[in-house]
């Protein structure tokens, strides 16, 4: 019957009444098929939406963006620049089943335990507040380091280094409390959180450290042995995050409008931008310069997390040069990882090791030609 109907249709003949049941049957089949497809599609949408609300105890990190600093940092009557300095970001977000599976198959997407980011009992708001406080500390360090290097007027009152959070399961737990003022470590005093951290990082797991803190106007002394971090077995510490309390004054004045970017890793690049606006010679020489690294008020550069992702982001942004913390040339440094990533993605971007702000300035002055 179906053959007869197809033949009559092909020959433009008068339709046979016997074809009507076949036509009705086909239309019904098509209608049911469309209805089934719509149901399946709707079910997929519902399942996808539901899975997006299922929170896993992980965070996903991936390459972020290069943020040019010239529009965000303004020194009064500062010198212009032809090129640019950019800080690098890493995108971080809580994982759900969908993003977890996607990260599994994407290069330079990392799946990390939640405790790598948030302290026990810490809310998302508290975590972000802590990150923004570290950024403010980093901005102050960048200002002090840049103004000192440029020979410009800078002064500040130092009020101390304070404990901001204490990590559960680490040596500081039960001894150091949030709000404690860190007075000394092994008899040494420190004028910034970064210099204290750098001293601790010079030691290894099992090494004893004697810490003197001030709490309620009384001094307390604790001896602790450093312990490796669960999320990073290569690092040992006390398990306490710190902030530096001080008031900084500079001349000429500088306005820094950097919002919604947390953490201390932009320190080096902020100091380079400030320094470049303070001095007549344009250190960029027309190049797009990216990089990362913490900085203390003496201009010393420290390591950061997510170095590979930042190299990928800088390459996508078209950077010519990338400054990476050298960590004194130790094995497995940020610089070594950055070089490995650069080779993997086959970038032409130059990876440059730096231990200090001076290293970065000398490289630009001695090794880089005007674009």
Annotated catalytic sites, by residue? 265, 310
Q: How far is CA 200 from CA 17, 36, 134, 218, in A?
A: 93, 64, 18, 24
Task: Give the whole-angstrom CA distance, residue 308 versus residue 261.
Answer: 19
Bridge-based pairing of strands 208-215 and 218-225 is antiparallel
Strands of the 240-251 sheet, one edge to the other: 218-225, 208-215, 181-185, 153-166, 240-251
User: Max alpha carbon distance in the chain (Å)?
Assistant: 106
Is residue 313 helix, strand or coil?
helix
Query: Of the candidates 211, 125, 126, which has an alpha carbon nearest to the alpha carbon of residue 170?
Result: 211
DSSP assignment letter at 115: G
* Main-chain phi, psi angles of 158, to 5 degrees: -95, 120
Task: Give the whole-angstrom CA distance, residue 342 versus residue 336.
Answer: 10
Query: Of the candidates 273, 271, 292, 296, which has an alpha carbon nearest to the alpha carbon of residue 284?
Result: 273
| Contact partners, residue 115, CB within 8 Å, separation at least 6 | 230, 231
Query: Of the candidates 271, 256, 278, 253, which has an alpha carbon nearest to the alpha carbon of residue 79?
Result: 278
């Amino acid at each position: 019957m179906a053959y007869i109907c197809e033949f009559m249709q092909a020959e433009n003949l008068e339709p046979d009444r016997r074809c009507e049941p076949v036509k009705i049957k086909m239309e019904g089949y098509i209608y049911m098929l469309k209805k089934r497809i719509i149901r399946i599609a709707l079910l997929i949408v519902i399942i996808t939406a539901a899975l997006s609300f299922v929170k896993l105890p992980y965070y996903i990190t991936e390459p972020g963006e290069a943020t040019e600093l010239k529009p965000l940092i303004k020194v009064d009557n500062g010198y212009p620049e032809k090129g640019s300095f950019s800080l690098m970001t890493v995108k971080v977000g809580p994982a759900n089943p969908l993003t977890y599976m996607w990260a599994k198959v994407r290069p330079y997407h990392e799946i990390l335990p939640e405790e790598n980011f948030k302290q026990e009992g810490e809310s998302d708001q508290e975590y972000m507040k802590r990150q923004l406080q570290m950024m403010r500390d980093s901005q102050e360090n960048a200002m002090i380091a840049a103004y000192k290097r440029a020979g410009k007027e800078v002064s500040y009152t130092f009020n101390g280094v304070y404990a901001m959070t204490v990590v559960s399961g680490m040596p500081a737990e039960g001894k150091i409390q949030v709000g404690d003022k860190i007075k000394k470590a092994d008899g040494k005093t420190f004028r910034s959180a970064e210099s204290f951290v750098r001293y601790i990082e010079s030691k290894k797991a099992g090494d004893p450290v004697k810490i003197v803190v001030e709490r309620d106007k009384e001094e307390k002394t604790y001896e602790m042995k450093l312990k490796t971090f669960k999320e990073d077995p290569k690092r040992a510490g006390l398990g306490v995050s710190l902030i530096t309390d001080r008031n900084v004054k500079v001349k000429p004045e500088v306005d820094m409008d950097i919002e919604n970017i947390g953490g201390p890793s932009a320190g080096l690049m902020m100091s380079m931008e400030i320094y470049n606006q303070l001095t007549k010679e344009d250190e960029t020489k027309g190049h797009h310069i990216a990089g990362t690294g913490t900085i203390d008020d003496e201009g010393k550069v420290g390591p950061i997390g997510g170095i590979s992702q930042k190299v990928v982001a800088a390459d996508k942004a078209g950077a010519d040069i990338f400054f990476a913390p050298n960590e004194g040339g130790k094995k497995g440094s940020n610089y070594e990882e950055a070089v490995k990533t650069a080779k993997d993605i086959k970038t032409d971007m130059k990876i440059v090791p730096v231990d200090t702000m001076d290293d970065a300035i000398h490289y630009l002055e001695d090794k880089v030609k005007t674009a």
